[in-house]
């Protein structure tokens, strides 16, 4: 038997079934007309943001990194909740524009931006978080050609990292950002060439559950920004302090203590150096804002026993849930929170393996899980599906195509 991850708080049974936004799983599937289906809850998005705002200092801006989930109705909800958006490609810029997001609230990071992506971003007035000297020079040249002033911030590759993060994005050699010691000269070059100087972006990692590690990193980020601003010789209009706030996916994971992070930031903000005093300070979060708002529903199409092991074969799988299958940046596969949605209040009584419909042994949704006895036709729920599900899974694999998505 292998434990399942913790189901996020607040999900309840109605008529014995998992309910989201007051509607049962079977009603939601009937509305969508098919499975597999991602359901995102507007109420959960709003509550998550309200709790975060209450915990963080008032002056801290909160941005949404749309790569976590770029479903248009969800982007429209987020537009009313957050202070800005972080994008990482021209495709995401187009999605942000289609959702009606204000380009002046968008910043564009990511290595390997092509000229046409820089052009679209500069023409729209998006801030570029430039990742190299070459990129700054190309942005300046494109700005000149278009007759519009590029808004330039520099993404810093800091010499420290976010301890305990699931994906490290700083510290040592990296394809991301500009090494600390090169930043002052490149910043001067952009400012002297007439760019609109937008400050620094320092992102150090992802999926951290230790408040202590995040507090330490935020302290390092503020110290580094102060030092670099001195070396650049100009105050910072803006400092994007990165993010890294994680959510519990696996057995034993505890929710992040955001109250502790908020208190530590409040103390730092009360004693800011002159270089940062007038800066717009923000963090950028993806999964923390949207991950727990989403549930993936997939239907059991077969139930079989092989050498004494029970398999529940679903019509979904890793083509929509790469991370839950254990194939997106994990070393050891562990179970996400999974339940039988159509028997949500039933007692666990058998050990089963929940798999997808793809013809590969990688397609696993839960291994050796204790679950209520489920039959063909039952619905399985995979929780924490609001981030890096639909947006980060190979939906074209085996000709399956994307899942349905709905926001309730």
Ligand X SMILES: *Cc1c(COP(=O)(O)O)cnc(C)c1O
Contact call for residue 286 and ligand X (CB under 6 A): yes
Contact call for residue 323 and ligand X (CB under 6 A): no
Measured over the CA atoms of residue 379, residue 384, residue 387 and residue 393, the dihedral's sign is negative
- Residue list 86-105, contact with ligand X (CB under 6 A): 86
DSSP structural state of residue 198? E
What would you report as the CA-atom Rg of the chain, rounded to the nearest whole angstrom?
22
Contact call for residue 248 and ligand X (CB under 6 A): no
List, in sequence order, the alpha helices (H) in 125-257: 133-146, 183-192, 211-232
Nearer to ligand X, 141 or 392 (CB): 392
Judged by CB under 6 A, the residue of 44, 48, 67, 343 near ligand X is 67
Cβ contact 213:173 at 8 Å: no
Nearer to ligand X, 105 or 188 (CB): 105
**What contacts 114, CB < 8 A, 6 or more positions away?**
90
Candidates 46-54, 116-124, 282-290, 359-367: pick the segment binding ligand X (CB under 6 A): 282-290
Task: Provide the token pair at 125.
Answer: 């007035």
Nearer to ligand X, 206 or 321 (CB): 206
Q: How far is the CB of 143 from ligand X (least distance, A)?
A: 23
Size of the site for ligand X (CB under 6 A): 15
Q: How far is CA 54 from CA 42, 50, 187, 280, in A?
A: 18, 6, 35, 19
Q: Phi first, then psi: what are they for 197, rounded to 5°?
A: -80, 120
DSSP, residue by residue, 337-360: PEEEGGGTTSPP-EEEEEE-SSSS
Candidates 10-18, 111-119, 201-209, 219-227: pick the segment binding ligand X (CB under 6 A): 201-209
- Residue list 208-247, contact with ligand X (CB under 6 A): 243
Q: How far is the CB of 62 from ligand X (least distance, A)?
A: 11
Of 343, 350, 349, 355, the closest CA to residue 312 belongs to: 355
Candidates 61-69, 192-200, 259-267, 368-376: pick the segment binding ligand X (CB under 6 A): 61-69
Query: Binding mask 125-164 vs ligand X (x if CB under 6 A, - otherwise)?
Result: ----------------------------------------
**Residues near ligand X, by CB under 6 A:** 65, 67-68, 86, 109, 203, 206-207, 243, 284-288, 387
């Amino acid at each position: 038997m292998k434990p399942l991850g913790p189901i996020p708080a607040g999900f309840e049974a109605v008529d014995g079934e998992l309910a989201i936004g007051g509607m049962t799983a079977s009603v939601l599937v009937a509305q969508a007309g098919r499975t597999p289906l991602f359901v995102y809850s507007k109420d959960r998005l709003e509550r998550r943001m309200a709790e975060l705002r209450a915990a963080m200092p008032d002056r801290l801006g909160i941005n949404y990194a749309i790569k976590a989930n770029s479903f248009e109705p969800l982007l429209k909800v987020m537009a009313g909740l957050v202070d800005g958006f972080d994008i990482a490609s021209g495709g995401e810029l187009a999605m942000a524009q289609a959702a009606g997001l204000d380009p002046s609230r968008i910043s564009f990071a990511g290595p390997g931006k092509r000229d046409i992506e820089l052009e679209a971003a500069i023409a729209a007035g998006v801030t570029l978080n430039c990742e190299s000297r070459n990129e700054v020079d190309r942005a300046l040249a494109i700005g000149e050609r278009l007759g519009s002033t590029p808004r330039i911030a520099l993404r810093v590759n800091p010499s420290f990292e976010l301890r305990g993060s699931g994906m490290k994005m700083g510290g040592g050699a990296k394809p991301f950002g500009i090494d600390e010691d090169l930043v002052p000269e490149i910043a001067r070059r952009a400012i002297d060439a007439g760019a609109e100087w937008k400050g620094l972006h320092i992102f150090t990692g992802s999926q951290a559950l230790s408040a202590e590690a995040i507090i330490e990193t935020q302290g390092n980020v503020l110290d580094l920004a102060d030092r670099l601003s001195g070396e650049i010789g100009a105050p910072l209009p803006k400092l994007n302090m990165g993010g890294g706030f994680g959510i519990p996916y696996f057995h034993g994971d505890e929710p992040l203590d955001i109250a502790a992070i908020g208190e530590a930031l409040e103390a730092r903000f009360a004693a800011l150096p002159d270089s940062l005093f007038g800066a717009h300070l923000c963090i950028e979060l993806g999964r923390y804002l949207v991950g727990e708002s989403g549930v993936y529903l997939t239907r059991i199409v077969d139930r079989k026993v092989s050498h004494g092991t029970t398999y529940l074969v679903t019509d979904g799988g890793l083509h929509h849930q790469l991370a839950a299958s254990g194939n997106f940046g994990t070393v050891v596969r562990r179970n996400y929170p999974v339940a039988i949605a159509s028997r949500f209040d039933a007692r666990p009584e058998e050990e089963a393996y929940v798999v997808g419909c793809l013809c590969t042994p990688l397609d696993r949704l839960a291994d050796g899980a204790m679950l209520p006895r489920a039959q063909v036709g039952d619905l399985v729920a995979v929780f924490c599906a609001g981030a890096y599900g639909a947006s980060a899974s190979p939906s074209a694999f085996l000709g399956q195509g994307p899942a349905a998505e709905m926001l309730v």
